[in-house]
Structure 1
Amino acid sequence: MDATGSPQPACTGLDLRAFFPKPSDLGERPTAPERYALAVCAVCPIRRRCLRDDLNAATDLSDVNGVFGGLRQAERREIIRARAQAAKDTEVAK
Structure 2
Amino acid sequence: MVASTVVCVTSHEDDRRAWVNENFGMVGQLPVYRAMLDRGHAAGPQDTVVIGDETVVERQIRQLFDAGATELLAVTLGSEEEQARTTALLADLAG
Give the TM-score of the pair, scaled to structure 1.
Answer: 0.27
- Comparing both chains, which one has the higher relative contact order based on Cα–Cα distances under 8 Å and sequence gaps of 6 or more? 2
More strand by proportion, 1 or 2? 2
Q: TM-score, normalised by structure 2?
A: 0.27
